[in-house]
Structure 1
């Protein structure tokens, strides 16, 4: 027998628990499994299994390699498989993830569990709409907030919440003490326009949560090379700017502008390229003023044609949509979302960081010339080899 599994994620613990409780009420033979990371400094996680009537079992799960996330991976599958082996005693397993655990890694773990006993049927992030803005604006390290999932966890509150929010195809909206306003909902819909928004009390909630989940499609939807980024929009004082350009950034001018660009919007993300790294696709992720820039390998335009069959089909399709006759898939595609967004100032700052006509002409004539000069981006990325 295959046991259906639903993941419930989110930094908003009260909203998350309310969502889990609603699922347990809707499925009498449903159970919820939760690993509490707050006990990790003492060397264990605390595992709780409960149903709609209360706690069924509770106990420690030891850390693995001094890492709470490793312990979760090692302990979660055996526990779910044990529930699946119980046959009809369990009709639904709800995995309530701890505050800062991102659903993607757990979803991919469950999706590759190959013995057929488990089926991931839904991923939902529980959200208190009134807390979306303050969470995204929080640039504090998770460790400082007591939310680190491992000793070396360097994530921030804002970027962790952004990934939780943007990965799940369903957002469960649970109002807390402060009622949300129109700007809160506009922010949610502009950040994740493809998400279904519903409340745990809605009659169709169970059906919405358990419609099925494709981990490969979800990964492609958030990967910078294939991301379905938001479109421009404006509502209730919240705006989204979509900025695109063909020519590369000047590395020095862009690096100098990073603080203003990272703080210019509550959330920004996308992909870009630099004049001194013509072959490298770079990702941009910022929330709460904290910016993460990463090198994600080559643009498809730089690969020999013989290598294309080895590239995932989603990546090839995304590249061909905007294929440039000379540049291929190389280009700037950045999206900024925020209340009170100064779109004109952002657009002007971004355009000032592009190569000028003279610089572009020199770059086109000799692209390798730029690669011989170091830039401040060497502090953020691996040196060019």
Structure 2
């Protein structure tokens, strides 16, 4: 079997946290390299820095055909990681992503046996770093990334909280800094059930680069209800489709301050389209995620918020009002809409989505 070099992927929304985590990895043991990348949309360039325990090994600015995260991965990230692996100089690589970058595109590539194998790489872990005392503010921040000059492309319409939430959801290892009851509870509510949370300064190479012999045991996630009486999660599920007119009319009642929501939904006017919901505060992204796979269609939306418990009741009421009724289901009133259902701006025209 060919020898491959393990790569741990690190995502953050704070350059200081990124550099702190990278430094901790470098001093944890010999044989580690750090690849750090930063995108500049204005100049359409990428700055690539490679360092190890001896200092900076490489620091160059690379022009990109398009200043976007996908192009950066294709044009520079994978080739550079491959050259680093092929050099024989390092045993492991930490890839510190551009600030606010989603780890999914690069982790998908590194987890693909053919793509990763061509470059002599394998995915070791995907980690995210968050600061607990500021997490409540950061997670529900609906300011566009472009306002903070953190957008990774001209069409990167994400808000800051969306970037934070995405990194928490996609990380297998969540590293936290500081102490805060609400921040700690939010991490536990948002991160995956089978993932691991550690204090940044307790994490070692065995956590970022686990092997069969050193793989840490996954501890059960604590009881969410006992973490904080201020943080809550509400799961809304229905096997019935949602009525497009009522959903459009009530959508503002489901995009609320201090609430994030994510999931899938089944729209009565688009029976074949799997619809995706991703909201932070007053910012809501709705998109088509392909066609429904075989089996039943259903809606599952998960909301996490802080504070007023009446918000949960309001969300449940707004959602229930959108679900098609027994009468609509039994009389065949649920059918493809002849007229515009109002969701073309998000989901495309219905003849294209069908």
Normalised by the length of structure 1, the TM-score is 0.80
Rate the CA distance shift 1:246–1:110 in 2: closer, same or farther, 3 A: closer
Match status 1:248 vs 2:241: yes
Using the TM superposition, give the Cα deviation of residue 241 of structure 1 relative to its aligned residue in structure 2, in angstroms: 0.6
Q: Give CA deviations for 1:237-288 in whole Å, capped at 9, x if unaligned.
A: 1000111122222211111111120116521111111221222221111113
Rate the CA distance shift 1:137–1:13 in 2: closer, same or farther, 3 A: same
SS at match of 1:241: strand
> Residue in 2 aligned with 1:74?
75
Rate the CA distance shift 1:193–1:40 in 2: closer, same or farther, 3 A: closer
> Residue in 2 aligned with 1:170?
173
Q: After the TM superposition, which residues 15-34 of structure 1 pair with which residues of structure 2 at under 5 Å, given as runs?
A: 15-34=17-36
SS at match of 1:20: helix
Structure 1 CA distance for aligned equivalents of residues 235 and 258 of structure 2: 12
Rate the CA distance shift 1:265–1:333 in 2: closer, same or farther, 3 A: farther
Rate the CA distance shift 1:174–1:355 in 2: closer, same or farther, 3 A: same
> Residue in 2 aligned with 1:109?
109
Rate the CA distance shift 1:25–1:158 in 2: closer, same or farther, 3 A: same
Using the TM superposition, give the Cα deviation of residue 33 of structure 1 relative to its aligned residue in structure 2, in angstroms: 1.0
Structure 1 CA distance for aligned equivalents of residues 313 and 125 of structure 2: 40
Rate the CA distance shift 1:252–1:136 in 2: closer, same or farther, 3 A: same
Structure 2 CA distance for aligned equivalents of residues 183 and 83 of structure 1: 41
Alignment check: 8 A CA contact 1:10 1:127 kept: yes
Alignment check: 8 A CA contact 1:234 1:240 kept: no
> Residue in 2 aligned with 1:97?
97
Q: After the TM superposition, which residues 324-363 of structure 1 pair with which residues of structure 2 at under 5 Å, given as runs?
A: 328-340=295-307, 341=309, 342-362=311-331
Alignment check: 8 A CA contact 1:40 1:63 kept: no
Q: Give CA deviations for 1:346-369 in whole Å, capped at 9, x if unaligned.
A: 11121112223332322xx3543x
Q: After the TM superposition, which residues 130-279 of structure 1 pair with which residues of structure 2 at under 5 Å, given as runs?
A: 130-175=133-178, 180-194=179-193, 195-202=195-202, 205-211=204-210, 233=225, 235-236=227-228, 237-263=230-256, 266-279=259-272
- Equivalent pairs counted in the alignment come to 332
Normalised by the length of structure 2, the TM-score is 0.86
Structure 2 CA distance for aligned equivalents of residues 94 and 125 of structure 1: 12
Using the TM superposition, give the Cα deviation of residue 10 of structure 1 relative to its aligned residue in structure 2, in angstroms: 1.1
Match status 1:375 vs 2:351: no
Alignment check: 8 A CA contact 1:68 1:150 kept: yes
Using the TM superposition, give the Cα deviation of residue 232 of structure 1 relative to its aligned residue in structure 2, in angstroms: 7.8
Structure 2 CA distance for aligned equivalents of residues 334 and 34 of structure 1: 35
Alignment check: 8 A CA contact 2:129 2:200 kept: no
Structure 1 CA distance for aligned equivalents of residues 95 and 6 of structure 2: 11
